[in-house]
Amino acid sequence: MTSPSIRRFEAKDLDACYAMSLATGLAGGDASHLYRDPRMMGHIYVAPYALLEPGLTLVVEDEAGVAGFVAGTEDTVAWENRLQRDWWPSLRKQYADPSDVPSAEWTADQCRAFMIHHPAPVPPTLVARYPAHLHMNLLPRLQRRGIGSKLLQAWLDIACRRGARAFHIGVNRENRGAIQFWRARTFEPLMLDGLPEGRTLWMGRDIR
């Protein structure tokens, strides 16, 4: 059995990245039963990075195929502006804005459609201190094998060569495994003024 390999994202990997985003989208577990459209989560959390910022998108592949990815950007504010210009408009034509429906009645698909039409910017106090951000997903067969650490370090090496020095991530507070993973890699929970106390736990790390 060969060891999993880390490489740059290629166009052929896109469907696998969409599938991984869904398979780990329920606090780290499978969210496929929640969505009628299996691409809703990937539209937000992986596809724009892979297609608009492929130089900062890596995948890990084993004998069964692509089973993990890491993606992000060194400048979150510029990234949000780019999404408004180059990514959200086409999706807004595909998915209706559910704002005329009470939010308590939204389906999982409608919750994501609302995010597409009304993306919430990362809190300014966060991006001022930690401008870069990333997302990382691994399927269960690659977890707890040290591969996540290697994938993260490979991405950080690229981001640092592009000038990034302070990074943030957002983790679902219910995803205890992910929080433990990030803390073990020196991402610490942040207590900055202006950070909302919602289901997202913001964590940050400096590299000097």
User: Number of C-alpha atoms within 13 angstroms, CB side, residue 58?
Assistant: 22
pLDDT tens for the chain, 208 residues: list them.
578 999 999 999 999 999 999 999 998 889 999 999 999 999 999 999 999 999 999 999 999 999 999 999 999 999 999 999 999 999 999 999 999 999 999 999 999 999 999 999 999 999 999 999 999 999 988 888 889 999 999 999 999 999 999 999 999 999 998 999 999 999 999 988 888 878 899 999 998 6
**What is the identity of the amino acid at 185?**
R
- Domain CATH code at residue 69: 3.40.630.30
Cβ distance 171 to 190 under 8 Å? no
**Could you tell me which of 81, 67, 41, 84 has the C-alpha nearest to residue 151?**
67
Q: Locate 73 and state its tokens.
A: 């950007």
Q: What is the pTM of this model?
A: 0.93
**Considering its fold, how many domains does the chain have in total?**
1
Tell me which residue range forms the domain holding 194.
5-206
